[in-house]
Amino acid sequence: MRGVVFDGRQPQVVDDLEIREPGPGEVLVAVAAAGLCHSDLSVVDGTIPFPLPVVLGHEGAGVVEAVGAGVAHVAPGDHVALSTLASCGACADCDRGRPTMCRRAIGRPERPFTRGGEPVYQFAANSAFAERTLVKAVQAVKIPKEVPLTSAALMGCGVVTGVGAVLNRARVERGDSVLVTGAGGIGLNVLQGARLAGATTIVAVDANPEKAGAARQFGATHFVDASTTSDVPAAVREILPTGVDHAFECVGRAELIRQSVDLLDRHGQAVLLGMTAPKVEASFLPAAMFLDKSILGCRYGSSRPQRDMALYADLYLKGQLLLDELVSATYPVEEFERAVADLEGGKVARGVVTF
């Protein structure tokens, strides 16, 4: 079968992958579509260290092909969105409703694939850039068949991370102010999460002026073009003179983290979503934090995928959550290289690879 494999040199589309049958508690999914996210490219450039060779992709949706023993919530033919959380369901964190903190879901890559008889790793317990993938039952979230799979795929990372960061981690309240730095796939979902939460002033900042329209479509009330604005903090303070209640950094650059912290109002919080290199350090002024300000990390939108992704599918069907509008372009898997070039060139909110 076809898939995108990274062997340490460059990602390549191959057609000789094989995958084993599902075991107990596992689901075999025929992948229909998978979003290309910066996290996939972070494996390639080394920002996210990962064992090799590996099948890339982690934001997918498809149709259940087979299930292992003990799987009852999905059956062959069901449409599913795929979560990256292979949480165990039995540890203290899972029991508290915090599957993103499950230690069995972090840093334990499996090898369900083979190529030429040699095992190949699975990225983020998912590997959606393959015609078929194998996930734990908890990762397969049943969704209505009315949700297009090209749109549903994006719930698996960009939507659950961005919207979840607003609703689950920051818990933005009606009337709050929100600053979003970076209007890419994650940032656009933070914007629509802020809109859903009822924030009244929502400022998007990006160095690409062509993202202004999409930012406003998803919920921004203001857009600051960082490519032409010499002093972004001053421009934000023209809109919010006392600072912002919630600042979301979606790029992963130390200076933008500092900028987000510096722009907080009293009792404000900065939420870090952009992925930095493992050893990058960011600074802030501790004395400025004593007015009840906070800096928060956030993994995968602090989500509970079986609850949250089903909710997002329902909101989509009710016209309240934008999914189709996130899909800037689709690419057959054979055009993976073009999809990467468009992402790196800032041409797409989300490019979706199809099989």
Supply the pTM of this predicted model: 0.94
DSSP string across 297-339: E-SGGG--HHHHHHHHHHHHHTT-S--GGGEEEEEEGGGHHHH
At position 119, the amino acid (one-letter code) is P
Contact in structure between 260 and 178 (CB atoms under 8 Å): no
- How long, in residues, is the chain? 355
3-state secondary structure (DSSP) of residue 225: strand
Closest by Cα among 51, 202, 59, 30 to 118: 51
Instruction: Specify which residues 34 forms β-bridges with.
Output: 60, 353
Amino acid 67: pLDDT:
98
Q: So what's the pLDDT on residue 223?
A: 98
Residue 294 to residue 344: CA distance in whole angstroms: 32
Angle at 106 between CA 294 and CA 353, to 5 degrees: 95
Residue type, 31: V
**Whole-angstrom Cα distance, residue 277 to residue 291?**
30
Closest CA to 162 of 196, 187, 180, 183: 187
The pLDDT score that the predictor gives to residue 107 is 64
Whether 78 contacts 137, CB under 8 Å: no
Instruction: Return the SS3 of 282.
Output: coil
Q: Where are the beta strands (DSSP E) in the chain?
A: 3-6, 11-14, 17-19, 26-36, 54-55, 60-67, 79-82, 113-115, 118-122, 132-136, 140-142, 177-181, 201-206, 222-225, 244-249, 264-272, 294-297, 327-332, 350-354
Residues 6+ apart with CB under 8 A from 202: 177, 178, 180, 191, 194, 195, 219, 220, 221, 222
Q: How far is CA 161 from CA 48, 75, 96, 171, 192, in A?
A: 17, 27, 19, 13, 12
Query: Can you give the pLDDT at residue 347?
Result: 83
Rounded distance between C-alpha atoms, residue 181 and residue 212, angstroms:
12
Cα dist. 164→100, 137, 157, 174, 322 in Å?
Answer: 12, 21, 10, 16, 14
- The predicted pLDDT at position 277 comes to 82
Over 79-131, what HEC string results? EEEECCCCCCCCCHHHHCCCHHHCHHHCCCCCCCEEECCEEEEEHHHCCCCEC
Residues in the chain where the model's pLDDT stays below 70 = 107
Summarised one tens digit per residue, pLDDT across range 89-125 is 999 999 999 999 999 887 678 999 999 999 999 999 9
> How many Å apart are CA 196 and CA 108, to the nearest integer?
35
Cα pseudo-dihedral 328, 331, 335, 338, rounded to 10 = 0
Q: Name the CA dihedral angle for 146, 150, 155, 158, rounded to a multiple of 10 degrees.
A: -150
